[in-house]
């Protein structure tokens, strides 16, 4: 049994802060990222690509560590059973954006506009090398 | 195919005809007007010096077309099979890695070996941090520079060890066919047997591994602690 749960369940349980079976406090293995905006020009935006500002990442070289890393947008819904109430949209960081460490990410389905300004989770996987 | 076939030697006197002879892939053995009804025993070879290299001759008696050039040697290309991956260079048997995903995220575990499927076989050891023998995708693991000696540790476990029995949900078993019930029962029996086997293999592997761990100061405590990011740690600046 490969030790990796399906992403949706993993994300849901992470965000619900359920004390996992066994001892140990909650661990954070993801980097906070602000969803700044969709990639855009002055008058038009491309909702396929999101601009993220990762916490503590201030230049292009630092941002390159996060290329390919998976990003999760987690949101709550009213409907569904308790364990299904947290939902995720997964994406990946594709490239840098500018010189100050912002990155572009693309998601399986485009993020909703209400996510702008919210915190996304940039996971530390997949690890390279 | 007109450009590939040259009719006869007779017209080879013009420059254009000579070039046509050189470039022709197929050449007539004898000119058409000289070909007898029965055909000669061997085709005429007087033209074979034209262009230099002798051209191949047909073995049959008919003056028919034959390829002008030598046969190209058939080179068997290596088939385009993907090569087996060598895996991550920073993760070696004995190294300590941090699990990034799953139930045991944050746990520091020992890599025992790389399985044929490409996954890593890891163990906590179980008594140290609760991680039993399991497979992990190497991309979902943080490699560290710490490693544990694997002297005396033998893990005769491969991918087939982790093949689980078939499980059915309660709904699927409602009004199930006899075949399905049989498969479910087999799966359950397999599961029980597997858990017992896991326990014995786990014990044998961990006992040897723990002996090695205890020799290193603080290593047991290190393996028992989970890794986490704090507000001041930046993963891109960390060196593991």
pTM above 0.80, yes or no: no
Would an 8 Å CB–CB cutoff place A31 in contact with chain B?
yes
pLDDT higher than threshold 80 for residue B19: no
Cα within 13 Å of Cα(B47), Cβ side? 24
Q: Where in chain A are the domains?
A: 29-123
Region B67-95 average pLDDT: 81
What is the percent of chain A with per-residue pLDDT over 70, rounded to a whole number? 81
Tokens of B193: 């047997």
**CB B4 within 8 Å of CB B67:** no
Q: Pick the closest to residue B100 from A4, A6, A74 (CA basis).
A: A4
Q: Write out chain B residues lying below 8 Å of A88, CB-based.
A: none
pLDDT tens digit sequence for B193-205: 999 999 999 999 9
Q: Write out chain B residues lying below 8 Å of A31, CB-based.
A: 229, 235
Task: Give the separation between CA A67 and CA A69, rounded to whole angstroms.
Answer: 5
Ranked by mean pLDDT, the top range of A62-71, A78-87, B77-86, B149-158 is: A62-71
Would an 8 Å CB–CB cutoff place B137 in contact with chain A?
yes
Residue B103, preceding peptide bond in cis (omega within 30° of 0): no
Provide the pLDDT for residue A119: 97
Task: Please tell me which of the candidates A21, A65, A126 has its beta carbon nearest to residue B235.
Answer: A65
pLDDT tens digit sequence for A101-113: 999 999 999 999 9
Q: Write out chain B residues lying below 8 Å of A3, CB-based.
A: 99, 102-104, 122, 131, 134-136
Would an 8 Å CB–CB cutoff place B118 in contact with chain A?
no
Tokens of A36: 């700044």
CATH 2.40.10.190 applies to domain A29-123? yes
Tokens of B13: 């006197």
Provide the pLDDT for residue A22: 36
Task: Give the separation between CA A87 and CA B104, rounded to whole angstroms.
Answer: 21
Region B184-210 average pLDDT: 92
Helix ranges (DSSP H) in chain B: 15-23, 126-129, 170-173, 178-214, 219-224
To the nearest whole Å, the CA of B186 is away from the closest chain A CA by 18
Would an 8 Å CB–CB cutoff place B144 in contact with chain A?
no
Region A100-127 average pLDDT: 96
Task: Give the separation between CA B196 and CA A80, rounded to whole angstroms.
Answer: 38
pLDDT tens digit sequence for A73-98: 999 998 888 878 899 999 999 999 99
Share the mean pLDDT of chain B.
82
Q: Write out chain A residues lying below 8 Å of B105, CB-based.
A: 27, 29
Task: Please tell me which of the candidates B105, B131, B138 has its beta carbon nearest to residue A29.
Answer: B105
Tokens of A7: 């992403």
pLDDT tens digit sequence for B20-66: 777 776 666 666 666 555 555 555 555 555 555 555 554 555 556 66
Tokens of A84: 């299904």
Beta-strand relationship, B95-99 and B141-147: antiparallel
Q: Pick the closest to residue B121 from B129, B113, B131, B130 (CA basis).
A: B113
Would an 8 Å CB–CB cutoff place B140 in contact with chain A?
yes
Per-residue buried b or exposed e for B12-50, using 16+ beta carbons within 10 Å of the residue's own CB: beeeebeebbeebeebbbbeeeebeeeeeeebbeebbeb
Region B62-91 average pLDDT: 76
pLDDT tens digit sequence for B121-155: 999 899 999 999 999 999 999 999 999 999 999 88
Name the residue with higher pLDDT: A16 or B103: B103
To the nearest whole Å, the CA of B100 is away from the closest chain A CA by 7
pLDDT tens digit sequence for A10-42: 454 444 444 344 335 688 999 999 999 999 999
Provide the pLDDT for residue B75: 79
Task: Please tell me which of the candidates B134, B135, B226 has its beta carbon nearest to residue A27.
Answer: B226
A101 by DSSP, 3-state: which? Answer: coil
Beta-strand relationship, B5-6 and B26-27: parallel
Per-residue CA distances from B51 to A36, B10, B65, B87, B190 (Å) = 74, 15, 17, 56, 76
Task: Give the separation between CA A3 and CA B111, rounded to whole angstroms.
Answer: 13
């Amino acid at each position: 049994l490969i030790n990796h749960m399906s992403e949706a369940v993993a994300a849901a349980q992470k965000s619900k802060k359920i004390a996992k079976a066994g001892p140990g406090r909650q661990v954070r293995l993801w980097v906070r990222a602000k969803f700044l905006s969709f990639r855009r020009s002055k008058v038009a935006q491309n909702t396929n690509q999101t601009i993220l500002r990762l916490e503590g990442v201030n230049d292009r070289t630092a941002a390159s560590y996060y290329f390919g890393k998976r990003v999760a947008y987690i949101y709550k819904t009213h409907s569904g059973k308790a364990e299904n109430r947290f939902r995720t949209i997964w994406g990946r960081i594709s490239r840098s954006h500018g010189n100050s460490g912002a990155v572009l990410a693309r998601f399986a389905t485009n993020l909703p506009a209400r996510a702008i300004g919210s915190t996304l989770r940039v996971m530390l996987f997949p690890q390279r090398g | 195919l007109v450009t590939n076939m040259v009719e006869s030697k007779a017209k080879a006197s013009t420059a254009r005809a000579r070039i046509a002879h050189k470039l022709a892939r197929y050449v007539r053995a004898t000119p058409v007007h000289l070909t007898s009804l029965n055909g000669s025993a061997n085709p005429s070879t007087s033209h074979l010096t034209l262009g230099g290299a002798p051209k191949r001759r047909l073995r049959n008696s008919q003056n028919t077309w034959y390829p002008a050039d030598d046969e190209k040697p058939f080179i068997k290309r290596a088939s385009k099979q993907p090569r087996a991956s060598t895996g991550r260079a920073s993760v070696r048997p004995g190294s300590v890695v941090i699990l990034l995903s799953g139930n045991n995220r944050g746990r520091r575990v020992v890599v025992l070996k790389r399985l044929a499927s490409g996954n890593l076989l890891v163990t906590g050891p179980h008594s140290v941090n609760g991680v039993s023998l399991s497979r992990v995708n190497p991309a979902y693991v943080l490699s560290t520079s710490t490693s544990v000696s694997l002297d005396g540790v033998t893990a005769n476990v491969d991918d087939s060890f982790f093949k689980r029995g078939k499980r059915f949900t309660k709904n699927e078993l409602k009004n199930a066919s006899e075949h399905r019930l049989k498969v479910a029962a087999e799966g359950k029996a397999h599961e029980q047997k597997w858990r017992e086997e896991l326990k014995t293999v786990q014990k044998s592997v961990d006992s040897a591994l723990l002996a090695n761990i205890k020799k290193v100061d603080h290593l047991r405590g290190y393996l028992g602690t989970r890794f986490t990011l704090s507000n001041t740690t930046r993963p891109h600046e960390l060196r593991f």
